[in-house]
Amino acid sequence: MPTNPTIGVFDSGFGGLTVLRALLPRIPGAHYIYLGDTARLPYGAKSQTTIARYAVESARFLEQRGADYLVIACNTATALALPEIRAAVSIPVVGVIEPGAKAAAAALIHKICHPEPSAKDLLSHPGDTTQSVLVLATQATVHSHAYRNACAHLGLHTTEKACPLLVPLVEEGWTDHAVTRDVLRIYLTEALSLSAPQAVLLGCTHYPLIAAEITAMLRTLGSSAEVIDSAEATAAEVARQVDISPLAETAPATFECFATDSVEKFQRLGSHFLGQPIPRVELLDLGG
Amino acid sequence: MPTNPTIGVFDSGFGGLTVLRALLPRIPGAHYIYLGDTARLPYGAKSQTTIARYAVESARFLEQRGADYLVIACNTATALALPEIRAAVSIPVVGVIEPGAKAAAAALIHKICHPEPSAKDLLSHPGDTTQSVLVLATQATVHSHAYRNACAHLGLHTTEKACPLLVPLVEEGWTDHAVTRDVLRIYLTEALSLSAPQAVLLGCTHYPLIAAEITAMLRTLGSSAEVIDSAEATAAEVARQVDISPLAETAPATFECFATDSVEKFQRLGSHFLGQPIPRVELLDLGG
């Protein structure tokens, strides 16, 4: 009889809890170990060598702790250190970028089979027949072009738009707020002036918390693009890799959380990202 | 004949360049060495032990590099590690908090001698005769209560207001922007509902870039409080400690910059904070 799987989920902070939230209902009986390397965030401004070292330390901790699978729920670590992480552990590793790109491709194929172009799409870019994706992400993720490269492998044309204010707005708790809508209007107007995307890919683990606001603003601006949540796409990819058939009758999934600093902040802010209270966070020292 | 002084200026990032900007015109012939520990920012979320270790490493580098004076142009490092820094070096050390508190006290004394209360001040808090200061700062600085404690030593009552969105707005370059004014309106309305300050102390090195917008919004909201820039206050305190009388006829001040990561970002963003181009930034490795 197979034992229930243990799945390690790693992020530089608590944003990756949106990936854990998407995972929890998908694999019955699974146990999740979430590690937020909060003492060393943000990874975005650091060099590739430093990020790879940090990510490998975290990946090894999760493997030693008993993880059978590893989810890198961090765009920066996925973009800059996925090969190093895969080389450092002996368990399957799923990053957050490729599943997002694949979900965008699937959405576009669906749109080609069931086209519903808006008047704005046709009017503003009448000669543009390219299947194009707009990627919204942090400055660091855009700078890495990791989504553009992953989408290019699938034959998709991408426009990448850095949205530096969205993470602090979400962390301030202003998810349903006039200022956030104003900022979205500015960012999305700029992005839509450059392309007429059929899909908008949320390339940051904070953005699922304002997915509804992003969709609403796209509609206001005349775009019918489908919004793709890479947290959901990543969870779906993990569920495909884990054989859940023998587990159908087991108990609900469970989870435990580790953070490398500021346990209180992790608990307070993290519960918004997870969509449920986090009863306990354990402090972990991974060094300087 | 005395040699011109060398003054080390330290911050976790490039925000402290607003302090360097305030220093440059004050001490003729001085040479400044600025160090931004950008690889390990932000300090705000880290433990006191870690912050003290980082700050001491940076302070020692600046002393070894020839600094005769050291300016800690970083609110977090000043709040959490000033005693450790002073113990680790043998040169005079000026932090950014005490000068700000002293400047607020001086402004209040001036206001007592030359009162010009606005109608709003009198109407909303008619019985409040306390000399009170509103401190605007990051979450980490507010959490440390360093400004509240420094102001209390000077007999001032303080209200502290965390303004987490102001740093990312300034870093986005939205200093003269409708969204920034909306955010200021929200933060300042909240703060003014709790007190009627006679002085507003800018407790973050990013805020001098929006000092004019903060003053304008205070006036719009009916407050006549004076805005105190702790970068200017710190520069004035350093100038008092350095004997500049023999230097009056020497050349303009010069500066060199070091950063522990992302030299390009430092140069690009830093020039806005310094108010002039930064021709060269040297990369420095202080370890993990």
User: Digits of tens for pLDDT over chain B (288 positions)?
Assistant: 457 899 999 999 999 999 999 999 998 889 999 999 988 877 776 778 888 999 999 999 999 999 999 999 999 899 999 999 999 999 999 999 999 999 999 988 877 777 655 545 444 444 444 679 999 998 888 989 999 999 999 999 999 999 999 999 998 999 999 999 999 999 999 999 999 999 999 999 999 999 999 999 999 999 999 999 999 999 999 999 987 666 556 688 999 999 998 788 899 889 999 999 999 999 998 865
Instruction: Report whether A69 contacts A234 (CB < 8 A).
Output: no
Determine the Cα–Cα distance for residues B93 and B95; give it in Å rounded to an integer. Answer: 7
Identify whether B113 is a catalytic site residue.
no
Residues in A closer than 8 angstroms to B167, CB to CB, are 168
Given the residues B113, B151, B163, B204, the one annotated as active site: B204
* A-interface mutation test, from B262, B285, B286, most A Cβ less than 10 A away: B262
Active-site positions of A?
Answer: 74, 204
Tell me whether 0.90 is exceeded by the ipTM.
no
Q: Tens of pLDDT along A174-193?
A: 999 999 999 999 999 999 99
Task: Indicate the residue of B45, B164, B262 with minimum beta-carbon distance to A38.
Answer: B45
Task: Indicate the residue of A42, A164, A179 with minimum beta-carbon distance to B183.
Answer: A179
As a dihedral over the C-alpha atoms of residue A6, residue A12, residue A18, residue A22, rounded to 10 degrees, the angle is: -30
In percent, the amount of chain A with pLDDT more than 70 equals: 90
Instruction: Report whether A112 contacts A132 (CB < 8 A).
Output: no
Cβ-defined contact of A39 to B53 (cutoff 8 Å): no
Determine the Cα–Cα distance for residues A91 and A96; give it in Å rounded to an integer. Answer: 16
Determine the Cα–Cα distance for residues A265 and A286; give it in Å rounded to an integer. Answer: 18
pLDDT of A65 > 60? The answer is yes
Query: Scanning the structure block, which residue is given the tokens 């990874």?
Result: A43
Strands (E), chain B: 6-11, 31-36, 69-72, 93-94, 132-137, 157-162, 199-202, 226-229, 254-259, 281-283
Identify whether B204 is a catalytic site residue.
yes
